[in-house]
Amino acid sequence: MPFKRYVEIGRIALVNYGKDYGKLVVIVDVIDQNRALVDAPDMVRGQMNFKRLTLTDIKIDIKRVPNKKTLIAAMEAADVKSKWENSSWGRKLIVQKKRASLNDFDRFKVMLAKIKKAGVVRQELAKLKKETA
Amino acid sequence: MYHKRGLWAIKAKNGGTFPKHEKKAAEAAPAEKPPKFYPADDVKKPLVNKRKARPTKLRASITPGTVLIILAGRFKGKRVVFLKQLTSGLLLVTGPFKINGVPLRRVNQSYVIATSTKVDISGVNVEKFDDKYFGKKVEKKKKKGEGEFFEAEKEEKNTLPQDKKDDQKTVDAALIASIEAVPDLKSYLGARFSLKAGMKPHELVF
């Protein structure tokens, strides 16, 4: 029941609204009750309302408002990218993006693969059923 | 204005005077006879129209070899291969016939979704096909002999001439070879497209 993810300097958050939708940003300072100063390697440092951010489990070790170079170095040291891509949340987002970008031909190939997999599973199940019956 | 436009520089470049070109000798206007008849009221001249007829602009996503999805008509949902745009603006398309039953056919660009799948079309020669090839055959009118003659004629009309069948075969031969080179493409072209539950056309990438 207690909170586990806190807004703190170095907390990685996912932007869930606006121009930078879907990006991972670092909270580098808190402006007031509602806004934070956020930064990411590929964007200009700027303010964002907390309502536009969803906190993640990842935290990096930085001082208040580091310069870009230090920020990037800290992110590399903490290996944010691979931690994110290996987390279940990160993997889900990657799958969603892949599915959205599928071509009509790709969707057809996926359908064939699903049918094949289901066939194999059903065969195994039939085999097991026969053994126990 | 003289200094602003740099006229002093042009004068200096040309040795003190402005460059002149000679006037063209006025061509002698052909002698016009006064008209015999003047209309009672002034006749309005129609407005000048310089527009030229050209085939419909082809969408950038449609290039020779693109797989298209036909949306209307008896082949709706079929995935076909685009060959070329005809001078009337219609798209020349083929199934290939062996794969999905769509023959060499014309299709309007508006009734088609272009997918991003391309087929290699380099082995196919489509020079000979134009709008006239697909036009209705005009038959000579035979006014003599109604009744029996009429019935006999109507029964003969419906078969495809053999040369059209041969054209289909030659076009498809090269196409099918390049289609079979890609795995699953043949069964893809043989299947029809349909919207299933949860598919949102405006969000789908074709």
* Domain spans of chain B, in order of start: 60-130+164-193
At B26-55, the pLDDT tens digits run 776 777 788 788 878 888 888 999 998 888
Contact A104 B206 (CB under 8 A): yes
pLDDT above 80 for B187 = yes
B191–chain A Cβ distance below 8 A for any pair: yes
Contact A100 B203 (CB under 8 A): yes
pLDDT beneath 70: ranges in chain A: none
User: How many CB atoms neighbour CB B180 within 10 A?
Assistant: 11
Distance (Å, whole) CA A75 – CA B89: 56
- Note the pLDDT of residue B124: 87
Instruction: Say if CB A16 and CB A52 are below 8 A apart.
Output: yes
**Cα–Cα separations (whole angstroms), residue B171 to A70, A99, B62, B91, B127:** 63, 35, 19, 15, 11
pLDDT above 90 for B151 = no
Contact A105 B117 (CB under 8 A): yes
Continuous segment of H or E residues that includes residue A105: helix A104-132
In 3D space, the residue among B48, B115, B111, B58 whose CA is nearest the CA of residue B81 turns out to be B115
DSSP designation for A51: G
Mean pLDDT of B171-198: 92
**Cα–Cα separations (whole angstroms), residue B24 to B21, B28, B121:** 9, 12, 55
A112 vs B contacts (CB less than 8 Å): 184, 187
B187–chain A Cβ distance below 8 A for any pair: yes
**Cα–Cα separations (whole angstroms), residue B31 to B27, B28, B34, B160, B187:** 12, 8, 10, 61, 75
Give the 3-state DSSP-derived string for A82-96, with helices as H, strands as E and coil as C: HHHHHCHHHHHHHHH
Helix, coil or strand: residue B78:
strand
Helix, coil or strand: residue B192:
strand
Contact B205 A103 (CB under 8 A): yes
In 3D space, the residue among B172, B168, B179, B183 whose CA is nearest the CA of residue B67 turns out to be B179
Structure tokens that stand for B197 in this block: 């539950």
Smallest CA–CA distance from B117 into chain A, residue: A105
Mean pLDDT of B77-100: 93
At A4-25, the pLDDT tens digits run 999 999 999 999 999 999 999 9
Q: Angle at CA B57, nearest 5°, toward B56 and B60? A: 140
> pTM for this structure?
0.77
CA quadruple A40, A44, A48, A51: dihedral sign: negative
Domain at B60-130+164-193: CATH code:
2.30.30.30
**ipTM attached to this prediction:** 0.78
Return the residue matching tokens 């709706």.
B76
Distance (Å, whole) CA B199 – CA B29: 71
Contact B117 A109 (CB under 8 A): no
- pLDDT tier, B137 (very low <50, low <70, confident <90, very high otherwise): confident
Q: Angle at CA A19, nearest 5°, toward A93 and A65? A: 90
Cβ-proximal residues to B109 (8 Å cutoff; 6+ apart), any chain: B56, B58, B59, B62, B89, B90, B91
A100 vs B contacts (CB less than 8 Å): 203, 205
Distance (Å, whole) CA A17 – CA A21: 5
Instruction: Say if CB B70 and CB B80 are below 8 A apart.
Output: yes
- Note the pLDDT of residue B142: 61
Instruction: Say if CB A52 and CB A20 are below 8 A apart.
Output: no
